[in-house]
Amino acid sequence: MSEIKKIAILTGGGDCPGLNPVIRAVVKTAIERYGLEVVGIKRGYYGLYHKYFSPLTVEMVDEILTEGGTILQSSNKDNLFIYPMRDENGEIVKDENGKIVYHDVSDVAVENLKEAGIDALFILGGDGTLTSGRDFARKGVKVVAIPKTIDNDLACTDYTFGFDTAVATVSESIDRLRTTTRSHDRISVVEVMGRGAGWLTLHGGIAGGADAILLPEIPFDLTKVAEKIKKDRANGKNYQIVAVAEGAKEKDGEAVILKVREDSPDPIRLGGIANVVADKLEEMTGFEARATILGHTQRGGSPTGHDRILSTRYGNAAVKLAMEEGIFGHMVVLKGNEISHVSLEEVIGQKTKNVTPDDPYVVLAKDIGICFGD
């Protein structure tokens, strides 16, 4: 008999499509199959610290399969191991040099779980959220992790949920841009999210039929892209689509930073490279170029069928891992078409997963004439 009677779920970091289907699968498996009690923790680790706990029932999650976002809400700036101190008015405390003062409040969170009688914590997140997950596991919390992010950059798993939906959004956005770009003989430069990883741009660019794909992992030379555009124009193609990752950079250049969020454990927000690329390509080719930054549209929308199934499999497997095998401190992963699990120590111990220049999808794209500017 398992000693697990009551579990809690939290969603951390940037939201993505598929979080709700995972919540639904965890709740349904836990209640229908194992008769457990389930608690939802609102607003990620912030809610764990402030005890934003409330019961979750099968009826509450039945309809959320198709909904984007997370019914539990999320936060991407509440690392309880390095938590900004606040004064009695709720203002962040800074030292004499204007630097934020941090302290470790993770023990409060552990106590909160104990006090609520929660035996295991299911954490849905990307590398930042799961680094804290690993640290809670080290403190003895029974953690089960489920890999989330549109960036698909988490180590040890082939795919995170949310990625497939974001690829569909990128390719659909390019479809919409194609007709207007073609009607005006323009170049459209489309900026795609992904932080330092190019997976979303690579897959979205191929799916959307981009002429050039510029990735963080393959620094680019715009004269090569301009040459490709001029050659295509000479051959009769009157418009071009360039997909550029928000973290992409020119050879010997730097990534373009949109803003620095001082209060976030991961403070850099990328954005703006599409404008730089569009301006330079217009100058180099003489053809009008426009930039479109897809931004947070890529995190929204109803999950694709693929993501609904993957999320359901992940949620179900996570509960089974805890109940059938009694394994904690692990993350469920997808390898090929099989779900298995890997310890959080191993996942977080590795660098994030990046595109390599010999990735089969890069080779595929080059084989069909897509330019990477390298």
Q: Which residues are catalytic?
A: 151
Query: In which element (H, E) is residue 244 found?
Result: strand 240-245
C-alpha–C-alpha distance, residues 25 and 2, integer Å? 20
Q: In terms of CB distance, is 208 or 265 closer to ligand F6P? A: 265
The mark string for 236-275 relative to ligand F6P (x by CB under 6 A, - otherwise) is ----------x----------------------xx-----
Tell the smallest beta-carbon distance from residue 295 to ligand F6P (Å).
Answer: 8
Helices (H) and strands (E) in the chain, counts: 12, 15
Q: Which of 134, 228, 299, 341 binds ligand F6P (CB under 6 A)?
A: 299
> How far is CA 65 from each of CA 37, 71, 87, 232, rounded to the nearest angstrom?
20, 11, 40, 44
Q: What is residue 113's three-state secondary structure?
A: helix
Q: Which of 195, 203, 308, 341 binds ligand F6P (CB under 6 A)?
A: 195
Asked if residue 216 binds ligand F6P (CB under 6 A), the reply is no
Q: Which amino acid is at 138?
A: R
**Strand ranges (E), 110-236:** 120-125, 143-147, 187-192, 212-214
Q: In terms of CB distance, is 119 or 164 closer to ligand F6P? A: 164
Total residues in contact with ligand F6P, by rule CB under 6 A:
13
Tell me which stretch binds ligand F6P (CB under 6 A): 30-38, 148-156, 323-331, 347-355.
148-156
Of 305-344, binders to ligand F6P (CB under 6 A) are none
Beta bridge partners of 8: 39, 121
Q: Which of 149, 152, 160, 240 binds ligand F6P (CB under 6 A)?
A: 149
Tell me which stretch binds ligand F6P (CB under 6 A): 64-72, 191-199, 207-215, 338-346.
191-199
Task: Check if the beta carbon of residue 280 is closer than 8 Å to that of residue 222.
Answer: yes
Q: In terms of CB distance, is 14 or 40 closer to ligand F6P? A: 14
Tokens of 103: 């302290």
Task: Please classify residue 257 by burial: count the beta carbons closer than 10 Å to its beta carbon, then call 0-12 exposed, 13-18 middle and 19+ buried.
Answer: middle
Sites of contact with ligand F6P (CB under 6 A): 14, 76, 126, 149-151, 193-195, 246, 269-270, 299
